[in-house]
Amino acid sequence: MRYYLGIDIGTYESKGVLVDGDGTVVATAARPHRMLVPRPGWAEHRAEEDWWGDLVGITRELLRTSAVDPGAIRGVGCSGIGPCMLPVDRDGAPLMNAVLYGVDTRAAREIEELTDEIGTAALLDRCGNALTSQSVGPKILWLRRNRPDIFARTHKILNSSSFLVHRLTGRYVIDHYSASGFTPLYSARTLGWDDAFADRIIGPERLPETLWTAEVAGVVTPEAAEQTGLKAGTPVTAGTIDAAAEALSVGVLGAGDMMVMYGSTIFIIMLTADRVRDPRLWYAPWLFEGQHACMSGLATSGTLTHWFRERFAAELDPASAIETLAREAETSTAGARGLIVLPYFSGERTPIHDPNAKGVIFGLDLTHSRADVYRAFLEGIAFGVNHIIETYAEAGQVPAEIAAVGGGTRNRVWIQAVSDITGREQTMRSRTIGAAYGDAFLAAVAVGDAPRNAIRDWNPVDRSIVPDPAHAGVYARRFDLYKRLYVQTREIMSELSE
């Protein structure tokens, strides 16, 4: 028997899966961890405890519960949240907490300065991306300015998957898809690090070596084998960002395929025939050479529903809270009885890219219930998804197929609202484990045991979510109000941030 191990580090939880050569799941495991918010606009993880500690614990649990011989595991794939910034010393030890992806907005000043200095058009041409809170480059500049002692001791800047791969293999590598999030340090023209910002931000020698995602980065070292229980010499892929692995896990393979990931944030990936240049969207070379991806994402989604449950439904059993609140939301109506929510509780990413944006619950009166407000939260996130899909269309990219994935798909009101508001069908596949499943598949591809298109046999379509035409009119009117509400409150939001 042949087996493949996939490990993914999420915002609030790490997951692992062990699958056989047919894609059948043999064992799964998960470990929760916290996202640290030391001050408003900051978001961090503890790399040693939350990333490596989770990988070690999950791997040992998978081996124990499955009783699979470690020698039968043909390959290991890793993914994690990103783009992140983690400075490490010469031994690969973290020098501070990891600074997370676009939900961390601490580098707003650096984004503005670098954009003015380089120019948006030049950034799009050179890097494929404008500078936003999703970009790692400004966060490295923030580190250089605000933590000069740490910057001076920094040997490499890593992200989540490259940290795991280093701990497993001893090599400092990063896949091209992840590296493209290091704007303005990665060149989309040359597919490599750009040394133009060595003096201003950081030099290429302090960044990991770039590889394609399904390349073998190295093998498990004896030290890593002792900690994890894996066999020394087991091949390890270059790794990638969780959303990319998740997209592959649900069959996103060619131009026009789109994934909507319902996680702590909404993240969207669409494969395109050519490189897309639009400052509102993110570009990356895809996991395999010669392919292109166009990405986008909201700043809060699952995080927002989690916040709502903690603040306004704390009495509910956590195991059944999602189902209870969904039932309540169904007692409301499409349009949440006149409520509109702007889900900008951590600023916003695509398409407005405004770190000063604020969450808004608009239209309240004394007749509204918790059910109405919760439904408005779900619809507000769905309006945000529609705003993104509208942006794709304006950039000339209309999805041919949308695959829904992630823990939020268990919330039937939320996923139906997205189909109703966007007017688009979503497919769900048989296995919704997520990025860890994609990591395991990438390991099979990397060692030559599976072709890329085999993922659709591993994970066939299970069902579809079809738009309800009865709701089209009310949602079209609400979507227009949703966009106008932000425009008319933007200046107030900015003043509040000051």
The string of pLDDT tens digits covering residues 268-281 is 999 999 999 898 99
- Beta strand 25-32 with 86-88 is unpaired
> Is pLDDT of 263 > 90?
no
Which 3 state secondary structure label does DSSP give 341?
strand
Q: What is the mean pLDDT of the chain?
A: 96
Q: Residue 78's pLDDT is what?
A: 97
Distance CA 237, CA 219 (A): 9
Contact present, 385 and 266 (Cβ < 8 Å): yes
- Name the pLDDT band for 432 (thresholds 50, 70, 90): confident
pLDDT single digits (tens) 153-176:
999 999 999 999 999 999 999 999
Residue with tokens 């490596």: 52
Q: Residue 40's pLDDT is what?
A: 87
Q: Residue 434's pLDDT is what?
A: 87
Q: Residue 265's pLDDT is what?
A: 87
Cβ-in-10-Å burial (0-12, 13-18, 19+) of 372 comes to buried
pLDDT single digits (tens) 63-105:
999 999 999 999 999 999 989 999 999 999 999 999 999 889 9
Give the DSSP H/E element, type plus range, for residue 420.
Answer: helix 412-422
Q: Is 154 left (phi over 0), alpha (psi -120 to 50) or beta?
A: beta
CATH of 3-244, one of 3.30.420.40, 3.30.70.100, 3.30.70.920, 3.30.1360.150: 3.30.420.40
- On the question of a common fold for 3-244 and 299-429+468-498, the answer reads yes
Tell me how far CA of residue 421 lies from CA of 330, 348, 358, 463, 491, in angstroms.
16, 19, 22, 19, 27
Distance CA 97, CA 227 (A): 22
> Is pLDDT of 407 > 90?
no
**Structural domain boundaries in the chain:** 3-244, 299-429+468-498
Q: Residue 102's pLDDT is what?
A: 87
The pTM score is 0.87
Question: Phi and psi dihedrals of 152, rounded to 5?
Answer: -65, -30
Tell me how far CA of residue 204 lies from CA of 140, 185, 201, 210, in angstroms.
13, 8, 10, 11
> Is pLDDT of 438 > 90?
yes
CATH number of the structural domain 299-429+468-498:
3.30.420.40
Share of the chain above pLDDT 70, in %: 100
